[in-house]
Every structure is written in C-alpha cells, then in structure tokens.
C-alpha cells in the first residue's frame, strides 16, 4: 500500500453514518433502497477526494448486506460487508478507467452481465475516472445501458463529467458531490487526530484544512506527511515540510496592491524565489473565497482576516475583476518567458483597476474651486500671481489640463507623462517636474521642447523657456477620471519597474 494513503485507507468511511458530507446524496440513495427503486446506472460527479468511490462502495454494501440496520446502514460484520471491506466481494467489480481505459473490461461486462449476481442481490460495477474510457468502451457501455439486465448496477465516478458522452449521462441518475466544507474537514480531522493521538496545534490544523481545498484525501495525505515527525510541529515547520504557500507573504502582497502600494507589492514578489503558478492559484483561491463570503455570507475566518488587513471595502465587482485578471494571467503564464513579469503585470492591472486612494481623492478639475485644499493640490505655482483671486489656481489647473490634452495628438506618451507630473514657473522658465528620468529624457528632446514652448505660449500667453527636473516624490496636479486608466497603467508600470536614474 502506498504509504501516503495509509491514513486515507484506514479511515475510509465504511458506512453511511461515517461518511461526512454529501447528505443530499445519502438521503436519496437510502430512500431508493427502502422503496426498492434503485436505478441501473448512476453518475457520481465531483472533484477528487470528495468521497465518490467511498460512497459507491458503501452503496454496494448496503444493496447486498445480509442484515441492514434500521436506518439502512450496512452492518459491517456479515460476510458481504467483510468481503467488500477486504476488496474480495465477487459481485463488486471496480474498474479504473484511468489505467486501462476499460475497453476489455467493458467487453467482458457485456458478456458477463447477463449472468445473475453470484452471491449478492446486486452485481455492482464501479467505473472510476469514467471520463477516461475510450469511445469504443463508451459504445459498449451504452449498449449495456440500453438494455440493462436486472440486478446489475453501474456507478460511474468522474471528476470531469463534461467529458462523458451525453448519451451516457442521459441514461444515468446523476449525483453531484460537493467539495467538503472546512467544517466537514475539521470534523474528520479532529476524529483522526484524536484516534491517532497526534499532537497538533489549532493553527496547524487550520493550515491543513485550508490547503485540503475540499478534499478529504488531500487533507489526510498532508496529515500523513507530518505525522512522521515525533515532535510537535509549529506552523512554520509545517509550511516548509508540506511545501505550502506562505499565506502571510501572499496576503502581504495583496494588501500592498489593494492599498495602492504597488511598488512594494512588486518588490515583495521579486524579493525571493516565488513559484508563479502557485502564487496565482493561491490568489485565485483567496479571492474566490472572498467572493463567496461577500455574496453568500458564508463565514470564512481566513478571508475575513484578510479583508481586515486590507482595511478597504473590496466590492464584489472588484473581486470579479481581480479573478478575471488572475484567470487571464494563467494563460499569459503559458506564453510568457518571464513568469515573475506576468505576475507583476497582473498586480499592476489589479492596482490600476482598483483606483488607489492616493489618486481618487484629489480631482481638482471636478472639485469645487472654492475648496480650501485646492491650492494645496496645485503645488507648482511659485512665481505665478496666485493670490489675486480665488479662482486663479483653478484657472492654472485648467490651463495645465489643456497642455495635457493638446499634447496628446503630438505624442500620447508625452500627455501621459505630463499627467503624472507637476510644474513650477520660475521667472520666464517653465520647469516641468517629473517623477522619472525617462520622462525627462523624452520631454527635453529638441522636438518635444519646441512643441511644448509653442503650446505653452498658446495656452499661458507667455513665451517660456522649457526646463525639466526629476523629483521622485512629485504629485500630479490633476488626475483625469476620463481615460485615466491607460495612463495610470503606463505610469504604474514605470513605478513598478522603477525606471529612473
Ligand atoms: Zn452487512
């Protein structure tokens, strides 16, 4: 037996009562047994480790048990139950479609199926990973299902129901297995920890549950791996031993991104070795859970804690945007030669779509010009007669906005750069203050300077000399709501990659 699966085998539920979750299916199966309305074919569909094969075996047991309990649970002690537990029962045939794709088995079924069960009431065929059957096998199976012999039951277990032919699906009674809830996983884990006398702290338990992603099998496989260590393991040990993602780091990156500290998020990413696929999957999981929490109100301590750390209300629409960006980046990962870059771009995209606070609360063009703070926003008016009346700063802003707008046809990048910049008027020199050297390099090109000189003359009615300085901490004078996204992305990227001197 595979060592990794020891616990899973040992604690495989052996009757309906022991099986945690899937109550809706158990209830239906039991009532079918009681009422004698058992179907000839079933589909058990669901992700891995949700109990499909276990339930199929329990069902087979219940159909054949010699002394079924009053609540329709197999007794566990009769020869049928014992044989099924040992895997010896002659009327229970399990076929693994993943390993042999089934054609020979299905042919054999067609030949043998006409014979009645040897010892039990029903002959049960469990076809695991049924979607892996070949077309020939499906056709053979279909013929059998078209004229199902009495007392023969097929149970097709699959993780990918979309790969089963419709003709097959339509002839089966279908059950969809839910992924195990964290609560169900915990119930199961607690039982095993108690029985095995493991000493495991609560935060390690939570870690194992979270990373099981609704699969009992995955949870036990991880428990198995840490059970070999004699001393009690702490959270960090378990993260390392199981090669789990460091949640703290993941959360920090997202907190930074959502709070608008994109540069920090990027440096978090590039700081250490980061497995990109892992990061994206974990992030998808985080936001998927956040979405469920927001939409369905299902309590989730993990994401509630995350939202508290972000400190900003993340709307459902935002979460959907983020999920879309992440899904897209899975595709991009396949095409990209730099996976870190792909993630960085995804973060920048999320950051841009999130309208960081820093920018969203200053919009002097839209703001009432009587607002006292307006003059603070305009931080580049030295030398300009700004005290003569209140509307002056607003007027300056409007002029600057014209510069930005009218430079667009000349050079779209220039317009974007100016939007992220500020200026001072020093005598007859118009000094543009830019956050990055590469902005300056472009603006001081002779062609650009000529264009700007003419434009400024036109708008400010004055013949300026044009100069440019770099100041990393410069704040833009105006923030455009309209069409701002493209510009924000451009400038965010330069923030991110720190393109400067
Ligand atoms: Zn029994």
- Model confidence pLDDT, tens digit, residues 386-411: 333 333 466 777 788 888 888 887 87
**pLDDT value, residue 492:** 46
Coil/strand/helix, residue 120: coil
List, in sequence order, every residue forming a beta bridge with 423; answer none if it has no partner.
Answer: 432
The reply to whether domains 3-176 and 247-354 share a CATH topology is no
Tell me what percent of the residues of the chain surpass a pLDDT of 90. Answer: 35
Number of C-alpha atoms within 13 angstroms, CB side, residue 51? Answer: 30
Contacts of 67 (CB under 8 A, 6+ apart): 75, 78
C-alpha span between 393 and 423 (Å, rounded): 13
What's the 61 CA to ligand 1 centre distance in angstroms? Answer: 7
Domain spans in the chain, listed from the N-terminal domain onward: 3-176, 182-242, 247-354, 374-485
Contacts of 189 (CB under 8 A, 6+ apart): 205, 208, 209, 219, 223
- Model confidence pLDDT, tens digit, residues 454-485: 999 988 888 899 999 988 888 877 655 444 44
Instruction: Please say if the pLDDT value at position 383 is more than 60.
Output: no
CATH class of segment(s) 247-354: mainly alpha
What's the 17 CA to ligand 1 centre distance in angstroms? Answer: 14
Instruction: Please say if the pLDDT value at position 74 is more than 90.
Output: yes
Distances (CA, A) of 308 to 286, 303, 313, 496: 14, 8, 9, 25
- Model confidence pLDDT, tens digit, residues 241-257: 887 766 777 888 999 99
**182-242 maps to which CATH number?**
1.10.8.60
DSSP assignment of 387-435: SS-TTHHHHHHHHHHHHHHHHTTT-HHHHHHHHT-EEEEETTEEEEEES
User: What is the distance between the terminal CA atoms of the chain, rounded to a whole angstrom?
Assistant: 62
What's the 50 CA to ligand 1 centre distance in angstroms? Answer: 24
What CATH architecture is 374-485?
A: 2-Layer Sandwich (3.30)
What's the 81 CA to ligand 1 centre distance in angstroms? Answer: 4
Instruction: Please say if the pLDDT value at position 364 is more than 50.
Output: no
Contacts of 217 (CB under 8 A, 6+ apart): 5, 8, 48, 49
What's the 379 CA to ligand 1 centre distance in angstroms? Answer: 84
Coil/strand/helix, residue 468: strand
What's the 296 CA to ligand 1 centre distance in angstroms? Answer: 41
Distances (CA, A) of 218 to 7, 65, 139, 178: 11, 30, 34, 15
**3-176 maps to which CATH number?**
3.40.50.300
**pLDDT value, residue 361:** 36
C-alpha span between 108 and 110 (Å, rounded): 5
């Amino acid at each position: 037996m595979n060592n990794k699966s020891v616990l899973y085998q040992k604690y495989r539920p052996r009757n309906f009562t022991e099986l945690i979750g899937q109550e809706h299916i158990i209830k239906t199966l039991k009532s079918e047994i009681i009422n004698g309305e058992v179907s000839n074919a079933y589909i058990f569909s669901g992700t891995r480790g949700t109990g499909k094969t276990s339930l199929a075996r329990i069902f087979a047991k219940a159909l054949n048990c010699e002394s079924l309990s009053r609540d329709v649970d197999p007794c566990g002690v009769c020869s049928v139950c014992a044989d099924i537990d040992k895997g010896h029962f002659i009327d229970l045939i399990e076929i693994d479609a993943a390993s042999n794709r089934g054609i020979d088995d299905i042919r054999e079924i067609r030949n043998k199926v006409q014979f009645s069960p040897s010892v039990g009431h029903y002959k049960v065929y469990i076809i695991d990973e049924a979607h892996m059957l070949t077309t020939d096998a499906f056709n053979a199976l279909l013929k059998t299902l078209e004229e199902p012999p009495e007392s023969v039951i097929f149970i097709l277990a699959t993780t990918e129901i979309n790969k089963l032919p419709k003709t097959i699906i339509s002839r089966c009674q279908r059950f969809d297995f839910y992924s195990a809830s964290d609560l169900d996983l915990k119930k199961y884990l607690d039982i095993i920890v108690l029985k095995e006398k493991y000493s495991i702290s609560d935060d390690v338990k939570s870690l194992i549950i979270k990373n099981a992603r609704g699969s009992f099998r995955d949870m036990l496989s991880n428990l198995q791996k840490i059970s070999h260590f004699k001393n009690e393991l702490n959270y960090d040990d378990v993260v390392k031993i199981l090669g789990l993602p460091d949640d703290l780091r993941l959360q920090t990156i997202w907190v930074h991104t959502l709070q608008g500290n994109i540069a920090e998020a990027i440096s978090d990413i590039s700081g250490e070795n980061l497995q990109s696929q892992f990061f994206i999957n974990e992030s998808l999981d985080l936001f998927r859970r956040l979405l469920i929490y927001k939409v369905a109100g299902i309590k989730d301590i993990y994401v509630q804690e995350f939202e508290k750390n972000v400190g900003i209300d993340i709307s459902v629409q935002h979460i959907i945007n983020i999920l879309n960006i992440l899904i897209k980046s899975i595709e991009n990962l396949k095409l990209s030669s730099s996976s870190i870059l792909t993630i960085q771009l995804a973060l920048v995209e999320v950051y841009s779509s999130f309208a960081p606070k820093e920018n969203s609360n200053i919009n002097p063009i839209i703001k009432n010009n009587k607002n006292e703070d307006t003059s603070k926003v305009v931080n580049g008016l030295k030398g300009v007669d700004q005290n003569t009346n209140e509307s002056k700063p607003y007027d300056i802003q409007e002029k600057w906005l014209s510069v930005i707008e009218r430079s667009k046809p000349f050079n779209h990048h220039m317009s974007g750069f100016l939007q992220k910049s500020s200026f001072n008027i020093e005598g007859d020199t118009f000094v543009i203050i830019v956050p990055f050297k590469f902005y300056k390099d472009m603006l001081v090109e002779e062609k650009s300077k000529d264009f700007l000189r003419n434009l400024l003359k036109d708008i400010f009615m004055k013949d300026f000399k044009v100069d440019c300085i770099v100041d990393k901490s410069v704040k833009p004078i105006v923030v455009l709501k309209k069409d701002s996204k493209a510009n924000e992305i451009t400038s965010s990227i330069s923030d991110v990659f720190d393109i400067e001197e």
